[in-house]
Structure 1
Amino acid sequence: MDLDAFTALLTPRGREALAEAQELVGADPVAAATRLRRTHDAALTSAALTQARLRERAKAKFGADAGRMFFTPHGLEQATRAEVAAHRARRLGAAPGPRVADACCGVGGDLLALARAGCAVDAVDTDPLSVAVARANAEALGVADRVTVRVGDAAEVRPEAYDVLFADPARRTSRGRTFDPLAYSPSWPVVLGLLGRARVGCVKVAPGIPYEFIPDDAEAEWVSYKGEVKEATLWTGRPPEGARRATLLPGGHTLTATGARAATGPVGRYVYEPDGAAVRAHLVGEVAELVRGWLPDPMIAYISGDEPVDTPWATRYEIQHVLPFSLKRLRAALRERGVGNAVIKKRGSAVDIERLRADLRLSGDRTAVVILTRVSDKPTVLICDPSPPA
């Protein structure tokens, strides 16, 4: 989709075509195109069908708002989930009406959340299509009076003129998604330069960002949504500086570094699987303290304990059997228990899960959780109940 095709969607004729296309979502693509072509030209038909499919996909991130918004394929892929953007905007919007510079706004997911939180947002992006889409989204969701969007280079933003700098650098190259901050756009040195001049800075990064790229004076926050780590955010210019934080959404639970160090010990009655945000934030010691547990292996983020402690920070399983890793012994143990379905998890194991599943040749009507890990640096299997005990 190019800029001309998108602009056509904003006309009365284009909105009519888009409404018709949305009624055809899920229909055979050829049949849908044929039907639209009866009243619309080929270019408008293609743009409308593409946008309708993007809106359908966007429901997972934007809920009911997706039906009024506009997207590009890459813009939707990189856009922040609405709940995560709202969480970040609440943190940024604590002061009355802060002025925010959004240095690379994309299709405007964060821009919308910031405006809804009461911020006045000046946004730029190097891509004219993304700028047009972001403007249309601000208009569609009723926040255009608090937003300006223009084509511009993030490097030219003057963060010192604003209360807050926000940046979501693109993490895609011509070869696809990149996990190297030096390949971000704008580049990592440009991002750090903007942060260094900002009163308050907030940068969205990939959750796997190497620790050496995190500025010493930044708070790093990892955010998990319904058990899946979505992103990390670097905060500068506000206390607590130098901290590590994990946040669970939609519950809003937050855990920060206290310096807790987990003890090591033998496998107990239960095994706790910490949420990925806590693992990424190196807060496994803090989670172990919450559940009064310890680490069976000091290098693996599984916690064991003898008490059934409930916490949003970890999933608990009751251990039924512990054995050294051996395909033959594992197969026999599962067959003895009548396990026909195994949820296989692993940390610290090089075993290919799908190949193992095929090799186990399971049969039976019971379900078990099979955890492949290391205990005292030895390959170990934990066979557990499939659900945490009440």
Structure 2
Amino acid sequence: MKIAPGVAQADLRAIDAEAEFVSLNGELKECVLWFGAARTAARRATVLPAGETLFADRPQDLGPIAPVGAVLYDPDPAVARAGLVHDLADRLGAGPIDATVHLLTADRHAHTPFATAFAVDHAAPFHAKLLREYLRQRQVGRVTVIKRGSPADADDLVRKLKLDGPHHRTVFLTRADGAHAVIVGRRFE
């Protein structure tokens, strides 16, 4: 049975079915409920077009918070919605950067279809002026801003940065170990 992927987790717990969350090109598309003999796990994340699946009968609990390392993983929305971020962390040898956001970190890159990986150039407490100076010194002229748990206005920040240069970076406005943080990185291809 197909249902909207925004279904409440409490509603899913009340149903004796496997919930499979499906994404296409990083966009969450649907939730499929599998009943009876068709049920093979409690939660499943399927990412398309890779056709890969991650599943667990009982999703793992949050591991210890890790300081931001050399690699940052942004889990696919199907993985996050299925509650399998910590299972993915275990698979990657990674740890969460904060208890409130779905971002993982590790010291070494491991390819996975279940997350987008970034090489971390810079991680620090969030200060717009210091970020602007950091980016200008490295001739960064374009940024892609990704918000995860930050109250900062991404569009306002981009306007205030007033960047000019040939390079591009991804800027995460997030939380790390309970504090507002900024992480600057380059996507692994």
1:339 and 2:134 matched? no
What's the CA shift for 1:233? 1.5
Residue in 2 that maps onto 1:328:
129
Query: 3-state DSSP class of the match of 2:78?
Result: helix
1:283 and 2:84 matched? yes
Residue in 2 that maps onto 1:299:
100
1:238 and 2:44 matched? no
Query: 3-state DSSP class of the match of 2:95?
Result: coil
Q: Which runs of 5+ in 2 are unaligned?
A: none
Structure-to-structure mapping, 1:65-104, within 5 angstroms? none
Residue in 1 that maps onto 2:20:
221
**Structure 1 counterpart of 2:18, one-letter code:** E
| TM value normalised by structure 1 | 0.46
**Structure 1 counterpart of 2:39, one-letter code:** P
What's the CA shift for 1:219? 0.9
Higher helix share: 1
Q: Which runs of 5+ in 1 are unaligned?
A: 1-201
What's the CA shift for 1:369? 0.8
How far apart, in 2, do the equivalents of 1:368 and 1:254 lie? 30
1:211 and 2:12 matched? no
1:269 and 2:70 matched? yes
What's the CA shift for 1:240? 3.1
What's the CA shift for 1:354? 1.3
Residue deviations 1:92-120 (CA, integer Å, cap 9, x gap): xxxxxxxxxxxxxxxxxxxxxxxxxxxxx
Structure-to-structure mapping, 1:112-191, within 5 angstroms? none
1:388 and 2:172 matched? no
1:375 and 2:176 matched? yes
How far apart, in 2, do the equivalents of 1:206 and 1:226 lie? 18
Residue deviations 1:163-192 (CA, integer Å, cap 9, x gap): xxxxxxxxxxxxxxxxxxxxxxxxxxxxxx
How far apart, in 1, do the equivalents of 2:90 and 2:137 lie? 35
Cα 1:241–1:388 shift into 2, 3 Å: closer
How far apart, in 2, do the equivalents of 1:343 and 1:208 lie? 26
Q: 2:74 touches 2:115 (CA, 8 Å); kept in 1?
A: yes
| TM value normalised by structure 2 | 0.92
How far apart, in 2, do the equivalents of 1:242 and 1:259 lie? 10
Residue in 2 that maps onto 1:188:
none
How far apart, in 2, do the equivalents of 1:235 and 1:330 lie? 47
How far apart, in 2, do the equivalents of 1:291 and 1:259 lie? 15
What's the CA shift for 1:299? 1.8
1:360 and 2:161 matched? yes
How far apart, in 1, do the equivalents of 2:48 and 2:31 lie? 13
**Structure 1 counterpart of 2:142, one-letter code:** N
Q: 1:291 touches 1:307 (CA, 8 Å); kept in 2?
A: no
Number of paired residues? 186
Query: 3-state DSSP class of the match of 1:238?
Result: helix
Q: Aligned-residue CA RMSD in angstroms? A: 1.5
Point out 4+ residue stretches in structure 1 off by more than 4 angstroms. none
Q: 1:295 touches 1:301 (CA, 8 Å); kept in 2?
A: yes
How far apart, in 2, do the equivalents of 1:323 and 1:248 lie? 32
1:314 and 2:115 matched? yes
Higher strand share: 2
Q: 1:345 touches 1:369 (CA, 8 Å); kept in 2?
A: yes
What's the CA shift for 1:241? 6.4
Cα 1:299–1:318 shift into 2, 3 Å: same
What's the CA shift for 1:228? 1.0
Residue in 1 that maps onto 2:52:
253
**Structure 2 counterpart of 1:284, one-letter code:** V
What's the CA shift for 1:238? 2.8
Cα 1:248–1:376 shift into 2, 3 Å: same
**Structure 1 counterpart of 2:182, one-letter code:** V
Q: 2:41 touches 2:55 (CA, 8 Å); kept in 1?
A: no
